[in-house]
Amino acid sequence: MDKFRMIFQFFQSNQESFMNGICGIMALASTQMYSAFDFNCPCLPHYNLAYGLGILLVPPFILFLLGFVLNNNISMLAEEWRRPQGQRGKDPSVLRYMFCSMAQRAMIAPAVWVSVTLLDGKCITCAFCTSVPVETLGNASHSHLSQGEIQRVLARIPCKEIYNGQQLIANEVAVRYLRCISQALGWCFVLLMTTLAFLVRSLRPCFSQAAFLKSRYWSHYIDIERKLFDETCAEHARSFAKVCIQQFFEGMSTDLVAARCHLPRKAPADAGDAAEKLLGITDQGTMNMALKNWHRCKPPLHLHPPALPTGNGWAGEGQSPLYSSAPRRETAAYYSWV
């Protein structure tokens, strides 16, 4: 139980770990879905190809879209891409990094599905059973069969219980031939995906490590900024609701006192704290304006210290004691009139 708790805490440590855990769960789910899926080839010409390729390609596409849906950064990417320019520019490299990161994670489950499907061989057997070379593997001397009849016989190869073309080509031979081709394609696909992942991981630092670090940093910043903004809005909403409720009950108590119902009044201790958290935004219109301004013109990413008093303030105008690198040394000079 402790191991599962540690794994769960690791997944919750940051956004990337959480998404890696989600993608791993989806990859395992794709294999379980395929093992539980009841594969039934129609064994009819012009339908086998559509059914086999549909099972091979449609579920990976759905899993790919599901990987984007489960990724929390998709809404953040769309918001950052569609927001106005405002006071902060939009960096295309950061948007590209976020999209590529989401796409790479969303491709894990579809790649697992395609690999498992090709290694199993049922889809390829169903889709291309009519393309078996009868001249090479079977008996092509049955000239009394037309081309359409041969196609109908070959289409029943995946359905062993209704196959009636043993005199044309043995069912075991055709199935083994197609399954070997499917497994070869499956291992080639696995090798291709592994090679691409290795090249992306190993060659990226050799060319654009500085740009990669910059894009990753600012993508993390956008994610953290959005979370902090949501937390600040939630805290403001809580304080706003608390002050509204307190004012409501204070008004009720005032009405009761006016009606000669003397009730003890005690000011709440946290009323001042809740009012301070409102930061001067005390009505709905001002809050809506603040939210619109945050979306339209986000503040620029340039931090500057607050203006410090000069003249009558610090001794030495234009220099703050907060930013002095070394302690000031005072010297005294004495003059003699002798």
User: 29 and 21 in contact (C-beta within 8 Å)?
Assistant: no
| Count of helix runs (H) and strand runs (E) in the chain | 12, 0
Q: What is the DSSP letter of 315?
A: S
**Could you tell me the pTM of the whole model?**
0.72
Closest CA to 190 of 82, 114, 123: 114
> From first to last of its 338 residues, what are the pLDDT tens digits of the chain?
565 556 555 555 555 666 667 777 788 888 888 888 888 899 998 899 999 999 999 999 999 998 888 877 788 888 888 888 888 888 888 888 888 888 888 888 899 999 999 999 999 999 999 888 888 887 766 657 788 888 888 899 999 888 888 888 888 999 999 999 999 999 999 999 999 988 887 877 777 778 888 888 988 898 889 889 999 999 999 988 988 888 888 877 776 666 655 545 555 556 567 677 777 788 888 889 988 888 888 888 887 776 555 544 444 444 444 344 444 444 444 344 43
Instruction: Give CB contacts under 8 A, 24+ apart, made by 44-48.
Output: 44/152, 44/155, 45/130, 45/148, 45/151, 45/152, 45/155, 48/126, 48/127, 48/129, 48/130, 48/155, 48/158
DSSP output for 146-184: -HHHHHHHHTTTT-TTT---TTTS-HHHHHHHHHHHHHH
